[in-house]
Amino acid sequence: MKNVTLNNGVEMPVLGFGVFQIPEEETQAAVEAALATGYRHLDTAASYGNEQAVGAAIKASGIKRDELFITTKLWIQHAPTGNVQDDTKRSFQNSLNRLGLDYLDLYLIHQPLGDYYSEWRAMQDLNKEGLTRAIGVSNFHPDRLVDLIDHNEIVPAVNQIETHPFHQRAADQELMRERGVQIESWGPFAEGKNNIFTDPVLSTIADAHGKSVAQVVLRWLIQRDVVVIPKSVRPERMAQNLDVFGFTLTEEQMNQIAAMDTGASLFFDHRDPAMVSWLGNRRYS
């Protein structure tokens, strides 16, 4: 497995297994299958409702903790019982308890909304205390990312954002590279939108390598130094998604995929007032 080195020296596998939208009752079996296939990087979130199932799978696997890289995410804090910094630390501990772990490898602010500056200050404390090896953010556009960096002590190690052939985030990635932030893709397959799995450009490239379109997309992201966390509940697909290190896309093929970029989200924009209000008013215990 290829690793990337984060800005604090922590090694992070470039390919992991995501559990977004896997029902809680199916998550343990899916994660156990992923770990058996060879995945060692797992990505979940408090808002997914399946941290406990991920933890049960980790325990059942018998894999040593230091062989795993575990990420979860902090939902927007609303300070129902105190201040945001205290509630952030409480939410972190709740996630840690559900996962059955003593520490995290990466803890992310899930949304760039609410008092995320107080959240970040609390996360800096957690990082200094050794409870999470690295801290980062998710869904931050460049303006908010730069503002957070410029006014805090610790630079986010990771920014997990929508990244796929139709929304490639090249300019965002360049800014992150300049600022020492690792880009990580969510939704690498665009959740099947735009007929991605039958796209003629991707299909032609896949045929040339004897690979699937999914493998080509993952290979394209990895060659761009993007960390990626594909999801599947089918063991054969898990294995296929992991088998992307034995071939290389040519410069011409990389350029063909680059030409597919629309420059726009296929899901939602975190700068849209209606979406900001909808996300900001959602609650998770």
Instruction: Provide the annotated active-site residues.
Output: 48
Beta bridge pairs of residue 104: 132
Angle at 216 between CA 180 and CA 258, to 5 degrees: 60
Cβ contacts of 55 within 8 Å, gap of 6 or more: 98, 99, 100, 101
**Within the chain, what is the greatest distance between any pair of CA atoms?**
58
| Strand bridging mode 41-43 / 106-109 | unpaired
Q: Which two tokens stand for residue 129?
A: 């205390």
